[in-house]
Amino acid sequence: MKSPLLVIVASALVFLVSGSGSSARATSVPVPSSPRLSVGDTWTYDSGLKITFLQVIADTRKVTTSGLEKGNAVILLRLEAGNQEPKTVRLRTRLGRDFVVIAANEFPEGVVGIPKSYVIRVASLTPGGSKRGGLRPMRAYALRLAVEVAL
């Protein structure tokens, strides 16, 4: 004999998948990105995180003859999170899965817990690669970041 709980769970799954007679579709929740930041701009994500786009320190992105972009750019950010001292971090645009994780607050000594944390990565950096590659004037760059919150 089947467990009543198993029957209820299975029925609920069938209902959710069938979508009450309509076709069901999986949906993903997009990670919100920052507004477009110019060098020197500061973005306050929420009351716990402030990000300043300091500069692009390297840009080797090139457009190949086939139109594909190769290379990488390295950006410098200042992060201010909760009760911590500001931190300066580097993020790359392409090579590897580059991101930084910062806790919203540091706990006092003797206090244990899992703090709210932010995962920050580059969503886009414009302009894209050029034929020659290399740094452009700082005023030419615009950055969008993606921030995810882990509670």
Look at residue 94 in the predicted model and tell me its pLDDT.
78
Is 34 domain-assigned?
Answer: yes
**Could you give phi then psi for residue 10, rounded to 5 degrees?**
-65, -40
Is 134 domain-assigned?
Answer: yes
Q: What is d(CA 46, CA 12) in angstroms, rounded to the nearest whole number?
A: 37
Is 121 domain-assigned?
Answer: yes
pLDDT, tens digit (0-9, with 9 covering 90-100), for 77-113: 999 998 889 999 999 987 666 899 888 887 778 887 7
pLDDT, tens digit (0-9, with 9 covering 90-100), for 22-77: 444 333 344 566 899 999 999 999 888 999 999 999 998 888 777 667 888 999 99
Is 7 domain-assigned?
Answer: no
Is 2 domain-assigned?
Answer: no
Is 109 domain-assigned?
Answer: yes
Q: What's the predicted TM-score (pTM) here?
A: 0.72
User: What residues make up the domain containing 85?
Assistant: 29-150
- What is the tally of structural domains in the chain? 1
Virtual CA dihedral for 56, 120, 79, 49, nearest 10 degrees?
140
Look at residue 65 in the predicted model and tell me its pLDDT.
74
